[in-house]
Amino acid sequence: MKNKLKEILERGGVALGVSVSIGHPDVAEIVGKIGFDFIHFDTQHTPLSMETVQSMMQAISYSQSTPIIRVQWNDISMINRALDIGAHGIIVPFVNNRGDAIKALKYSTFPPKGIRSFGPRRAMLRDPEYMATCDEEILVIPQIETKEALDNVEDILSVDGIEACFIGPYDLSRSLGIFTQWQHPTFEKAIERVLNAAEKTGTAPGMLALTEDATKTIERGFRLVNLGLDTNFLAEGANSVLQRARNARPRK
């Protein structure tokens, strides 16, 4: 197994991705053709089932995009299923402390390092080296999205095996009492705290760029950048075409 997303982050590059929530392989196939570094299949806040995600991942298997899955919770069965169908990384929500991060890592690695159960049915279908490499190649990405996680961010990111993190801006801002107030000093300070902790621990920081222009997100120092959602891109593209047509004036 070779994780191209991990390679980008290890050499200090910026990885650009997209969230996919529309449960059809055609959507994943179209997005996969564009050239995103990673495609994030969100099973936490969408109706996507693992069966559907597997079909969508099969649709991007020809592409250069790395598949990562956000699981519903820091749960061994959810994490095992995501990895067994071939995810190269998992985003784990509500990792609030060092213990939560260690738990996520244990669920994601095979004994003796962890307690992942054997059954990588699709993951090793065309990869005879999977069992020898997966524990080192799979990215386990804790989501920093509460005040508690923010208070413990250095402890979380200092756990051996955690190589990237991801800010959940909506939940984090709500936890801080400033929901969606992206320019609020408290939110800005929270972002800086995560960035500083990531730099101190050699971890790649990530965030959804919907809170600001993606250029600013990258210039801040984020290196795992989610540029948006398939539903938003669909709506924005359709709206743009519609508005241009509405503004057209027929020849008299």
- Check if the beta carbon of residue 51 is closer than 8 Å to that of residue 78: no
Tokens standing for residue 66? 């790395």
Q: What percent of the chain has pLDDT over 70?
A: 100
- Domains contained in the chain, number: 1
Is the predicted pLDDT of residue 210 greater than 90, yes or no?
A: no
pLDDT score for 184: 97
Q: Residue 211 above 90 pLDDT?
A: no
Residues 6+ apart with CB under 8 A from 240: none
Strand stretches in 34-178, DSSP E: 38-42, 66-70, 89-92, 139-144, 164-167
What are the phi and psi torsion angles at 61 (to 5°)? Answer: -65, -25
Rounded CA separation 26/33 (Å) = 11
For the segment 136-156, what is each residue's pLDDT rounded down to a tens digit? 999 999 999 999 999 999 999
Mean pLDDT of the chain: 96
Closest CA to 74 of 56, 58, 88, 94: 94
pLDDT average, residue stretch 166-185: 97
Asked if pLDDT for residue 218 goes beyond 90, the answer is yes
Q: Considering the domain boundaries, does residue 118 fall inside one?
A: yes
Q: Does residue 9 fall inside a structural domain?
A: yes
**Active-site entry in 24, 40, 45, 88:** 45
For residue 186, the model assigns a pLDDT of: 98
Active site residue 40: no
Q: Is residue 23 part of a domain?
A: yes
Band (pLDDT 50/70/90 cuts) for residue 250 is: confident
List own/partner pairs for 240-243 with CB under 8 A and 24 or more apart. Answer: none
CATH code assigned at 59: 3.20.20.60
Which has the closest alpha carbon to 189: 140, 142, 153, 242? Answer: 153
Residue 60 covered by a domain: yes
Q: What is the pLDDT of residues 95-117, one digit of tens each?
A: 999 999 999 999 999 999 999 99
Give me the residue label for tokens 């730099």. 199
Alpha carbon distances (Å) from 214 to 79, 189, 203: 29, 19, 20
CA distance 140 to 71: 11
pLDDT of residue 242: 97
- Domain region containing 128: 4-247
Give the pLDDT confidence of 219-228 residue by residue, as tens digits: 999 999 999 9
Predicted confidence band of residue 251 (pLDDT cuts 50, 70, 90)? confident
Whether residue 233 lies inside any domain: the answer is yes
Angle formed at CA 11 by CA 8 and CA 17, multiple of 5 degrees: 20
pLDDT of residue 209: 87
| Residue 252 within any structural domain of the chain | no
User: How confident is the model at residue 137, as a pLDDT?
Assistant: 98
